[in-house]
Amino acid sequence: MKSVINRTDAPCLGESADRILPASTLPTHRAALGATMKRTVVLIAAAVCAAALAYAADTRKCTASAKECEYQIREMLADKRYLGAKVEDSRWGVVVTEVISGSPAHSAGLSDGDRIFAVNGRECTKGGMRKFKALLNEAATQDEGGKVSLTIVRSGRLMRISARLSVMSKKEIDKVVAAHIKEAHPEHGN
């Protein structure tokens, strides 16, 4: 019987990767390996689809009533100072995605795309949004009236922007309540 040396495509394995297979079994061996790989890919794809469907089915609705949510949101935001910028994590720090018109962030000159590196001289790149929000909350409760100094990068230039956190107006709180009701309590409509 004639034998064939089959070298795998893993050069890091060197000579130990050589296997001697009978020439008659080589096509069968490759076919079995191909079928196994196809089954594995199909199983992985099915698992990913199942996970995606389970995630999509989770509507993340509140367990409280819409009225209770509204009350709690209004209580929580009644005297809370805010900056007025939507942010998200990035590998370069916290990035501003939207500045609310008329907010302290808008008045201070913060812009979409600004990367925030520090709040009041304390770095927030490694802690991301969690650290950023903690530093803002700390500044909001200080006796200095919510003054914050933000170290940002805009268009490759390092800048420092000063803002004064202010209490949310009734109109701004109404927007937060409406957004929550729309997302978490769709049965209550607009």
Which is higher by pLDDT, 134 or 186? 134
Do 94 and 155 sit in the same domain of this protein?
yes
Q: Are 116 and 100 in contact (CB under 8 A)?
A: no
pLDDT given for residue 189 in this prediction: 59
Q: How is residue 127 written in tokens?
A: 């802690």
35 vs 1, residue with greater confidence: 35
CA proximity to 82, closest of 17, 3, 150, 172: 172
Q: Which domain holds residue 162?
A: 81-167
98-103 mean pLDDT? 89
**Number of domains, the chain:** 2
- Do 95 and 133 form a contact (C-beta atoms < 8 A)? no
Residue at 180 is within a domain: no
Entry pTM: 0.59
Q: How confident is the model at residue 40 (pLDDT cuts 50, 70, 90)?
A: low
Within this chain, do residues 47 and 90 fall inside the same structural domain, yes or no? no
Share of residues in the chain with pLDDT > 70 (%): 65
152, 98: one domain: yes
Cβ neighbours for 77, distance < 8 A, ≥ 6 positions apart: 168, 173, 176
Handedness of CA 66, 71, 77, 78 (dihedral sign): positive
Let me know if residue 63 belongs to a domain.
no
